[in-house]
Amino acid sequence: SQKIEQNSEALNIQEGKTATLTCNYTNYSPAYLQWYRQDPGRGPVFLLLIRENEKEKRKERLKVTFDTTLKQSLFHITASQPADSATYLCALTHGGYQKVTFGTGTKLQVIP
Amino acid sequence: NAGVTQTPKFRVLKTGQSMTLLCAQDMNHEYMYWYRQDPGMGLRLIHYSVGEGTTAKGEVPDGYNVSRLKKQNFLLGLESAAPSQTSVYFCASSFGLYYEQYKQYFGPGTRLTVT
């Protein structure tokens, strides 16, 4: 069956350290992989998108990698800040680019 | 630009009642989506549309119907509400035509409780 797994429900990290979140998938052939941020009571907000033929993408303190052989994406936040505390969702674009399936998310807490 | 708006923000229904959730976007997006979000389940796709007049089933379509009569609006209907449909509903839209345009813009959500 198809499955998207994010490494843990919650991740606590000290301010200033690099947070690394994992997204693993099975039985999908995604065209794109996306990462979103969701704050309590709000809708998800888009952060980064990476294509199947791209290895790495960066945006300011954010970096995402995509390994289609391992069927895994890693999402890094460098120099983490308390304001980075939120739930982070990975999502796969598949089904002829029309469908998007989300993982259950990882709740990140950055401790001052 | 207002982006993606959803109406209403909150609603309480009794079992068996019907209602329609309205999603509107002012970004001229082709693709629109309805999701529900439940604790521990993440976002699950209910129905989606790849253009005006088109709709398709997502992962959890049972008990819901949709319509996309105008490009900017996507309606989600519950014909006979059940307690299992208690959830937070999110609408999203995207250009859906090329690479970065597949990123989705989400509305603020509708919190629905069915008693």
CA–CA distance from A112 to each of A14, B39, B53 (Å)?
A: 6, 27, 50
- B3-20 pLDDT tens trace: 999 999 999 999 999 999
- B24-36 pLDDT tens trace: 999 999 999 999 9
Q: What is the pLDDT of residue B40?
A: 80
pLDDT of B39 above 80: yes
Distance CA B17, CA B54 (A): 26
pLDDT of A95 above 90: no
pLDDT tier, B51 (very low <50, low <70, confident <90, very high otherwise): very high
Q: Residue B8 is encoded by which pair of tokens?
A: 């209403």
- A55-87 pLDDT tens trace: 899 999 999 999 989 999 999 999 999 999 999
CB pairs below 8 Å between A and B: how many? 60
- Using CB atoms, pick whichever of B41, B42, B102 lies closest to residue A97: B102
**What does A13-81 look like in DSSP terms, one character per residue?**
EETTSPEEEEEEEES---SEEEEEEE-TTS--EEEEEEETT-SEEEETTEEEEEETTTTEEEEEESS--
Q: What is the pLDDT of residue A1?
A: 76
Q: Looking at chain B, how many residues does it have?
A: 115
Preferred mutation among A5, A98, A101, A104 to probe B, highest tally of B CBs within 10 A: A98
pLDDT of B71 above 70: yes
Q: What is the pLDDT of residue B72?
A: 97
Give the mean pLDDT of chain B: 93
Nearest-Cα distance to chain A for B82, in Å, is 23
Q: What is the pLDDT of residue A8?
A: 72
CA–CA distance from A66 to each of A17, B3, B41, B98 (Å)?
A: 22, 29, 24, 19
Mean pLDDT of B58-82: 96
Q: What is the pLDDT of residue B99?
A: 67
Q: Residue B108 is encoded by which pair of tokens?
A: 């603020």
- A26-58 pLDDT tens trace: 888 888 899 999 999 999 999 999 988 898 999
- B86-110 pLDDT tens trace: 999 999 999 876 766 788 999 999 9
Q: Residue B18 is encoded by which pair of tokens?
A: 């019907």
Among all chains, which residue has been given the structure tokens 């000290």?
Answer: A14
Distance CA A112, CA A86 (A): 15
Nearest-Cα distance to chain B for A15, in Å, is 27
Distance CA B73, CA B5 (A): 10
CA–CA distance from A56 to each of A23, A49, A62, A66, B56 (Å)?
A: 14, 10, 11, 6, 32
Distance CA B97, CA B50 (A): 10
**What does B28-54 look like in DSSP terms, one character per residue?**
--SEEEEEEEETTTEEEEEEEESSTT-
- Using CB atoms, pick whichever of B42, B90, B109 lies closest to residue A105: B42
